[in-house]
Amino acid sequence: MVKTFGPIRAVDGLDLSVPAGICLGLLGPNGAGKSTTMRLLTGQAIADRGRLRVLGYELPARSKDARARMGVVPQLDNLDIDVTVEENLAVFARLYRVPDIAAAVDRALALARLGDRRGDAVDELSGGMRRRLLIARGLVHRPRLVLLDEPTVGLDPQIRAEIWTLIEGLRAEGATILMSTHYIEEAERLADRVALMARGKVIASGRPGELIAEHAG
């Protein structure tokens, strides 16, 4: 794939695949093209060149079908602060036409360990709780693919550890996850495989420990 913004090639010949049932870490510094890649996968941006298939659907022609089967957790907090924790999840469950909304919301709250905060207003939550709610919202419709865009950026170490525990729970359930991050320790702990990205390209890929040791040296 290739995606340019004026003279800048944000994604430059990217070749990437995510096998089912694993967590693939997209690791690289800020400006490597990770967030642009996420936008391409969700149909928020359209590649200038290249073929893009997500869950069997060609993008952008069938972006709507692909999005219906993806759970997207953005880097920026875009929760609705005017409604409760539970209502944030219920709105998304309705958008995705989940048949049993109450059960879906209960499951997502349990995964995020927010069951006791379901009736609270979003602006009463701590930063870590809000991040967990974002993840719960992305999971409420039981997606086949979960996209986590820098899930712990800007969080303090204690909250980051809480989010890591939540993501480890998703892995244990066999979820297919694509996670972008610029934290080496995050990729090493959570990813089954890592794709190292720089200047819009994947420059290396492999098992986290081996790949990180090779390039750190």
Residues 149 and 59 in one domain: yes
Structure tokens at 198: 């720089």
Number of structural domains the chain divides into: 2
Task: Report pTM.
Answer: 0.91
**Contacts for 40-43 with beta carbons within 8 Å, 24 or more apart?**
40/1, 40/3, 40/11, 41/70, 41/147, 41/178, 42/67, 42/70, 42/72, 42/147, 43/67
Cβ pair 208, 183 in contact under 8 A: no
The pLDDT assigned to 70 comes to: 95
- Co-location of 41 and 92 in the same domain: no
Domain harbouring 175, CATH code: 3.40.50.300
Would you place residue 210 in the very low, low, confident or very high pLDDT band (cuts 50, 70, 90)?
Answer: confident
Query: Residue 191 domain-assigned?
Result: yes
Q: Is 74 inside a domain boundary? A: no
Confidence of residue 174 (pLDDT cuts 50, 70, 90): confident
Residue 139 and residue 53 share a domain: no
Residues 47 and 90 in one domain: no
Same domain, 107 and 194: no
Query: What was the pLDDT predicted at 217?
Result: 53
95 and 64 fall within a common domain: no
Whether the per-residue pLDDT at 79 is higher than 80: the answer is yes
pLDDT in tens, 1-26: 999 999 999 999 888 889 999 999 99
pLDDT at 196 over 90: yes
Q: Which residue's entry shows tokens 């809480």?
A: 162
Query: How far apart, in whole angstroms, are the C-alpha atoms of residue 196 and residue 157?
Result: 23
Same domain, 211 and 169: yes
> Residue 61 belongs to what domain range?
1-69+144-217
Given a cut of 70, is residue 216 above it in pLDDT? no
- Tokens 């204690």 belong to 158
How close are the terminal C-alpha atoms of the chain, in Å?
29
